[in-house]
Amino acid sequence: MGTQSPFELEALSHEDSLSLLLKWAFNQGDEERYPNLLPIADEIVKKCKGVPLAVRTMGSLLYGKTRQRDWELIRDNHIWKLDQQETGILAALKLSDNHLPHHLKRCLAYLSLFPKDTLYDTDYIIQSWLANGFLPSPVQEDDVCCEDIGLQYFKDLRSKGFVQDVDDQVTFYKFKIHDLIHDLALSVSQEECLTIYQQTISASENVRHLAFAEHYPMRILQPFLKKLKGVRTLVSLTSWGQFKEVEKTFLSACISYFKYLRLIELENCTLKALPKSICTLKHLKCLNLSSCHNLRRVPKSIHKLQSLLTLRLFNLPRFQVSDNLRRLINLRFLEISGDDMQLREVRPGNWSSLRFLYFCKCTTLKCLFEGMENLTSLKDLIFACCYELESLSRSLKFLVKLEDICIISCPKINLLMEPQGIEDQNLHLGLKNFIIRDAPSLRDLPRLLLEASASHLEFIEIRGCPELEALPNWFQNLISLQRLEIIDCPKLSRLFDGVEHLTSLKQLKIQQCPTLNDKYRPQTGTDWSKISHVQEVHIEEQKIIKSRLMLENYGKGSSSLYCELRS
């Protein structure tokens, strides 16, 4: 096999660089209002030397600044003279980092704890930020919750060009950071964040966040660990699909040395049991034991962890879901799995702060436990691969803060849930997203929950439901619906009556539904006129954009719009 010479990417032209900077520095057309800034923009672009990352970073830094003096300070900053690589990248990144507010610097620095090219998940990262005190503490009565503030921090980092490859998963985002951004974050976090590799020989006593990339015998680690008294975060790093050996003695030693641990992440470890001493960590806020396949249970005294906000028990095939979990009364984020569901009831006050509840591979779960109405703060409810699950509880109608329901690969589930009696007639719920996938027994949709959310519901996805024969006519009451996706529902013969009256509907996707494909095919289908008002229509492989508005709005950070199961 022959070899080829590497292809060298050329720098952007000056004209293209200027255009890119203005795109990120201004909303479309606004640059014309500030002609005095254009000569300065021209000089800043020259300093970036045609490197797209440098240009975009500078544009993000300048966004929202319209005073000439602010632009001049960026142009004339001494950091440009310190860039030894003569590419403009390092100076641009350092300038942008210097202008970050302190709370965003801490959040960005934390990401350097993980390897380059890591695919981050906003739900999990926000829980890590929360555990380490980077977000405001949860306040029970506060209208703005700390998770929403964390999401805004992520969006701020995104708008400033520090994250990339952002993928909108409907209820959360996945993203990466550029290798050079990772290097920058690492350089500014050396005192607090440390990842231990074989070549690591020393560490600052100020280290707060500690990650282990490889397995080490305790005789080597013990002298090293004794010096680090202020560690708050303990992470065991593993490559995807691989398992890492973690000795129980190692974990016991860390618990002994690090009294102020706030976060422990042991994902994909071979650990068979947790030391009982873990329940003495009164400051622990986040515990991740996902994919520790040998783990059967947590200690009986787990309820002593009263500061715990996040508990991840994802993908534990032989796990016993203890009744003691309900005594963790401050939980906000819970993922559970296993083949022994001993938790059957949640009583008033148990999980009143819980916002995220994810059932994954709970193989014996047939229905939700009693007392679901007590989860008064619940926002996200997700089921995946719960093979015995048959229905949802009508008590969900009491959860007025519930915004997202996602059901994936639950083969026995049907969702017949009709209003009953006067008490169901005036319900006002707040569901925004409803997703069901791979549900071969589904024949009915939950009218009680969806119709009561008519003024909030924006997105419905129905995929892989071979027995679903019709969409109910009450769908025409979903006046806020913006996106509807129907995929692989071969028996579905028509859309609901009144679809033409849903003026908020902007995107409609129909795939692998033979009859629907024919009826609603653009221009030629017999019922095309009923959906011709929709701005964007996908029928099989055809895509029709009815309005140029979406193209014109395509710009900063556009991404896909599809939810997928976390792995």
Q: Say what the pLDDT of residue 83 is.
A: 57
Q: How far is CA 97 from the centre of its chain?
A: 24
Q: Is 94 helix (H, G, I), strand (E, B) or coil?
A: helix
Q: Is the dihedral of CA 510, 512, 515, 519 positive or negative?
A: positive
Q: Say what the pLDDT of residue 200 is.
A: 60
- The radius of gyration of the chain from alpha carbons, rounded to an integer in Å, stands at 26
Domain boundaries, the chain: 14-99, 102-184
pLDDT above 50 (res 147): yes
Q: How far is CA 51 from the centre of its chain?
A: 30
Least confident stretch, 169-173, 188-192, 412-416, 472-476: 188-192
260 close to 230: Cβ distance less than 8 angstroms: yes
Q: Say what the pLDDT of residue 250 is.
A: 85
Least confident stretch, 40-44, 330-334, 505-509: 40-44
87 close to 51: Cβ distance less than 8 angstroms: yes
pLDDT confidence of 556, banded at 50, 70, 90?
very low
Please give the average per-residue pLDDT across 180-190, as a whole number: 83
**126 vs 101, 152, 240, 481, CA distance in Å?**
17, 10, 21, 28
Q: Say what the pLDDT of residue 380 is.
A: 97
pLDDT above 60 (res 503): yes
Q: At which residue do the structure tokens 């939700």 appear?
A: 368
pLDDT above 50 (res 546): no
pLDDT confidence of 202, banded at 50, 70, 90?
low
Residue 445 to residue 443: CA distance in whole angstroms: 7
Least confident stretch, 1-15, 39-53, 307-321: 1-15
Higher pLDDT, 447 or 5: 447
Per the structure block, which two tokens stand in for 249?
């003695």
Please give the average per-residue pLDDT across 418-437, as a whole number: 92
Please give the average per-residue pLDDT across 317-328, as a whole number: 92
Runs of H (alpha helix) within 373-489: 447-451
pLDDT above 90 (res 471): yes
pLDDT confidence of 359, banded at 50, 70, 90?
very high
pLDDT confidence of 331, banded at 50, 70, 90?
very high
CATH value of 102-184 in 3.40.50.720, 3.40.630.30, 1.10.3720.10, 1.10.10.10 = 1.10.10.10
pLDDT above 50 (res 555): no
Q: Say what the pLDDT of residue 548 is.
A: 31
**236 vs 122, 160, 267, 309, CA distance in Å?**
19, 30, 7, 20
Q: What is the mean pLDDT of the chain?
A: 86
Q: At which residue do the structure tokens 């500014």 appear?
A: 188
pLDDT confidence of 559, banded at 50, 70, 90?
very low
Residue 392 to residue 403: CA distance in whole angstroms: 15
Q: Say what the pLDDT of residue 542 is.
A: 46
Question: Within 10 A of 16 (CB to CB), how many other CB atoms are there?
Answer: 14
Burial of residue 62, with CB atoms counted within 10 A of its CB: 0-12 exposed, 13-18 middle, 19 or more buried: buried
Residue 265 to residue 3: CA distance in whole angstroms: 43
Rounded percentage of the chain residues whose pLDDT exceeds 70: 89
Least confident stretch, 169-173, 242-246, 339-343, 523-527: 242-246
**If DSSP states are collapsed to H, E and C, what string results for 131-160?**
HCCCCCCCCCCCCCCHHHHHHHHHHHHHHC
Residue 356 to residue 359: CA distance in whole angstroms: 10
Burial of residue 270, with CB atoms counted within 10 A of its CB: 0-12 exposed, 13-18 middle, 19 or more buried: middle
Q: Is 250 helix (H, G, I), strand (E, B) or coil?
A: helix
Please give the average per-residue pLDDT across 202-228, as a whole number: 77
Q: Say what the pLDDT of residue 563 is.
A: 31
Residue 262 to residue 282: CA distance in whole angstroms: 9
**If DSSP states are collapsed to H, E and C, what string results for 39-87?**
HHHHHHHHHHCCCHHHHHHHHHHHCCCCCHHHHHHHHCCHHHHHCCCCC
pLDDT confidence of 397, banded at 50, 70, 90?
very high
Q: Say what the pLDDT of residue 553 is.
A: 33
Least confident stretch, 102-116, 202-216, 282-296: 202-216
pLDDT above 50 (res 23): yes
Please give the average per-residue pLDDT across 68-76, as a whole number: 88
Please give the average per-residue pLDDT across 289-295, as a whole number: 93
- To the nearest 10 degrees (0 to 180), the angle between helices 38-48 and 68-75 is 20
Q: pLDDT per residue over 79-97, tens digit each?
A: 777 654 555 577 778 888 8
Q: Say what the pLDDT of residue 196 is.
A: 82
Higher pLDDT, 93 or 9: 93
Residue 402 to residue 384: CA distance in whole angstroms: 18
Indicate the pairing of strand 193-196 with strand 233-236: unpaired
The strand pairing partners of 560, in sequence order, are none
Top-confidence range, 36-50, 131-145, 241-255, 376-390: 376-390
Please give the average per-residue pLDDT across 153-177, as a whole number: 92
193 close to 116: Cβ distance less than 8 angstroms: no
Least confident stretch, 78-82, 368-372, 516-520: 78-82
Rounded percentage of the chain residues whose pLDDT exceeds 90: 59
Q: Say what the pLDDT of residue 541 is.
A: 54
Through-space distance between the first and last CA atoms of the chain, rounded to whole angstroms: 36
Higher pLDDT, 189 or 397: 397
